[in-house]
Structure 1
């Protein structure tokens, strides 16, 4: 009898600790904004409102059926934006290429109140890729190397001023190593941590555990060696568990070495679903409230879903997008060529 009771208790313990798989069978896609733009950076506020930053100098807030838009010029030039981040009182947009210009847009909860230029960087190799905030005061943006390290700028005062970190305090890059400004998602934030995914001829993960003061870098098994190979997107569930996704932009069907997970904060990575669909994707996100079991990866070839932590995947739609950001456990916004759409995932 004692053996039976112990055996039953062990079964209960195992079953309670096994994470339940998540199942979505379809996705409802509803356009909420149509324009002749390339939109790679979005920041939802709730189920009805989403900020975006795009090319042709255009930024805006989609409020239900109402787009509130602005065109930002630097001198006579229209800037191209691929980075966006938000705090309670402001939205920040950062342009690619030379010059890189970062704007702080005041926000009162309903309308933009003012636009202020808070950082500018000029140089032939300047190219910023993504931006995130740890909290209301501290944020980070990442760009391609201009010297022998990735470009990293940090704010500690709510985005009013930004300082570029010295290469003396950052890992050295390898030849041909940079990052992809594909979906504003080659940075992941959790707690005081930030992880930065690189790509190109070398594809690695940089990590800071103290909001940018110190850094380390880790190798990955992701496909690399060419200009358009590597990690395009990174997301973390907590300080230990994360996922990276990418592939070869020039061979989007190639599905080997394009997705991996870590269980130790990025120190080591293990390939998942290797040689299986999906291939190239530009943005990956854990679905909120699913304990890391639900994952969505999107890109120009379509929308893919895993309900078991990335072991198995299925394609929910062939409609292509660049970026995805979740609002809750079934609703997200996605952006791509000429549009932003609301996505409702259904069981």
Structure 2
């Protein structure tokens, strides 16, 4: 009887994951999209290369495409949207910029500029509509961090003496805008890659069982479940030059980084983004497809071989969207 019950339970989990798939909504854009913000089930924003920003207010059925004037060559690798009219975009480097729109993308204001040699912004995250953070690659072995407390209208770097110290060859990946995320209502957790791959929480740094040792290896994305309680944290990555490898591409901690476990069945390749959905359900995507977990990351099911850089669940809603090289997708059942 126990074997029968276990078999039925396993079948249910497998069947649930298999029922999920990805519908491609846009497939013909000549840009790479790594920025994605899903405000609710109807309002979605994306950002990417060649100064591109896209917005949909009808659940991804139709899109308004914008090339930000004066930034036609800028790679906007992250975006945070607050409604159908207001959004903040992050231009990574040469120089690094943050811009804001309040009119649906018709006009943009430069709200932050940094011409420091070597400056390269990786990701933004907002706790709410006012409080946000941006993280950048190390300069002089110190990881750059700036904060906003007015919805991205103004930004200030934290005092340099409080910049986290990186080791040689350690940096952050600007692969999906998700290597930093809220840990609780006031703090963030971020992950690094390269020659070293670590998790940073406050002043603590934790080694992770994630592939490391080369410029192309390490943690790419982190997501958190239960920020008001004891959090479950899942990290994904790998080596973006070996998209099909499952070696050390995912790890899980439930005690704030003190210990880590690895999945019994890992995501099926390098993964650039992980997202918590609901209950024990998580999603991860990368160059060779999309994986779904129904048991807090213990096992992952390959539900689509469509390539995407980033996946996000609606901040106010249930819809889940993807963005990648030239295309946008939606999770469907």
The interval holding the TM-score normalised by the smaller chain is 0.7 to 0.9
Alpha carbons of 1:28 and 1:144: their partners in 2 closer, same or farther (altered >3 Å)? closer
Separation in structure 2 between the aligned mates of residue 341 and residue 57 of structure 1, nearest angstrom: 21
Report the alpha carbon displacement of residue 218 of structure 1 after superposing the two structures with TM: 1.9
* Equivalent position to 1:248, from 239, 242, 252: 239
Mapping of 1:92-131 within 5 angstroms?
92-107=88-103, 111-112=104-105, 114-131=107-124
CA deviations 1:101-122 (Å, max 9, x no partner) are: 1001114xxx346421110001
Unaligned 5+ residue runs, structure 2?
1-11
Mapping of 1:1-347 within 5 angstroms?
23-26=16-19, 27-32=21-26, 34-64=28-58, 65-74=61-70, 78-88=73-83, 90-107=86-103, 111-112=104-105, 114-189=107-182, 190-208=184-202, 215-239=203-227, 240-273=231-264, 276-288=266-278, 290=279, 293-327=280-314, 331-344=319-332, 346=333
- Which residue does 1:15 correspond to in 2? none
Alignment: residue pair count: 312
Q: Looking at CA atoms only, which structure, 1 or 2, has the larger radius of gyration?
A: 1
Instruction: Report if the CA contact (8 A) 1:223-1:258 is conserved.
Output: yes
Separation in structure 1 between the aligned mates of residue 277 and residue 291 of structure 2, nearest angstrom: 12
Report the alpha carbon displacement of residue 24 of structure 1 after superposing the two structures with TM: 2.2
SS at match of 2:326: strand
Separation in structure 1 between the aligned mates of residue 25 and residue 329 of structure 2, nearest angstrom: 4
Report the alpha carbon displacement of residue 192 of structure 1 after superposing the two structures with TM: 1.2
TM-score by length of 2: 0.87
- Which residue does 1:8 correspond to in 2? none
Alpha carbons of 1:325 and 1:277: their partners in 2 closer, same or farther (altered >3 Å)? closer
Decide which structure has greater strand share: 1
Deviating runs (4+, > 6 A) in structure 1?
Answer: none
Separation in structure 2 between the aligned mates of residue 322 and residue 302 of structure 1, nearest angstrom: 9
Separation in structure 2 between the aligned mates of residue 194 and residue 285 of structure 1, nearest angstrom: 15
CA deviations 1:121-180 (Å, max 9, x no partner) are: 013311111111112221001111122211111112222211112331132100000011
